[in-house]
């Protein structure tokens, strides 16, 4: 867990504000060079949301969008740009790559009983861990968590 998105924001001159948000956990606000986080997030949620929003900042994204399978399937019907959906996926992918090192994931996968236990140990949300595992699909990963012969 060496990647700290809050420090990465400070290093880039990006301010981080916390406030009540109705329907999102966070947002990149390019005109103010700021990331807004929802009040009440757990430290793990905040770290993951901040890493995601920081990836929007790094890429200089200016289009906001929801993410997930619904967003992609219904983007045209909802008037949402497919570019925005791709930006969301890229931000997720890049954030989880920074949050979850392969060596840490390999170690935890040897003993973790499931996704929740692995995510807790890695200091990320289950969603971010799932995205990281999907990112590694085709690379001989994922092997089922908690089934390693090494772990006993």
| 152 exposure class (CB count in 10 Å sphere: 0-12, 13-18, 19+) | exposed
The confidence score (pLDDT) of residue 68 equals: 43
pLDDT at residue 137, rounded to an integer: 84
The residue to which tokens 């968590």 are assigned: 145
Cα 47 to its chain centre, rounded Å, is 9
Note down pLDDT in tens along the chain; length 152 residues: 589 999 999 999 999 999 999 999 999 999 999 999 999 999 999 999 999 999 999 999 986 544 444 444 444 545 557 888 899 999 999 999 999 999 999 999 899 999 999 999 999 999 999 999 999 986 666 555 555 444 44
What SS3 class is residue 152?
coil
Length of the chain: 152
Predicted TM-score of the model (pTM)? 0.81
Report how far residue 23's alpha carbon sits from residue 1's, in angstroms, rounded to the nearest whole number.
28
Between CA 57 and CA 51 the distance in angstroms is 10
**pLDDT reported for residue 121:** 96
Say which CATH architecture domain 1-81 belongs to: 2-Layer Sandwich (3.30)
Side-chain-side CA neighbours of 52 within 13 Å: the count stands at 28
Structure tokens at 24: 């999102």
Give the pLDDT score at 35.
97
Beta bridge partners of 18: 37
**What is the reported pLDDT for 66?**
46
Angle at 57 between CA 56 and CA 60, to 5 degrees: 85
Structural domain boundaries in the chain: 1-81, 100-152
Among residues 62, 17, 63, which one has the least CA distance to residue 41? 17
């Amino acid at each position: 867990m060496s990647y700290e998105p809050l420090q990465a924001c400070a290093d880039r001159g990006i301010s981080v504000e916390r406030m009540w948000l109705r329907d999102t956990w966070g947002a990149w606000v390019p005109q103010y060079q700021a990331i807004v986080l929802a009040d009440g997030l757990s430290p793990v949620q905040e770290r993951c949301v901040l890493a995601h929003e920081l990836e929007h900042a790094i890429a200089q994204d200016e289009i906001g969008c929801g993410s997930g399978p619904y967003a992609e399937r219904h983007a045209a019907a909802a008037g949402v740009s497919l570019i925005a959906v791709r930006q969301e996926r890229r931000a997720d992918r890049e954030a989880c790559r920074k949050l979850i090192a392969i060596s840490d994931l390999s170690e935890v996968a040897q003993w973790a009983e499931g996704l929740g236990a692995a995510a807790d140990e890695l200091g990320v949300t289950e969603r971010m861990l799932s995205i990281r595992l999907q990112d590694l699909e085709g690379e001989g990963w994922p092997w089922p968590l908690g089934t390693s012969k090494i772990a006993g």
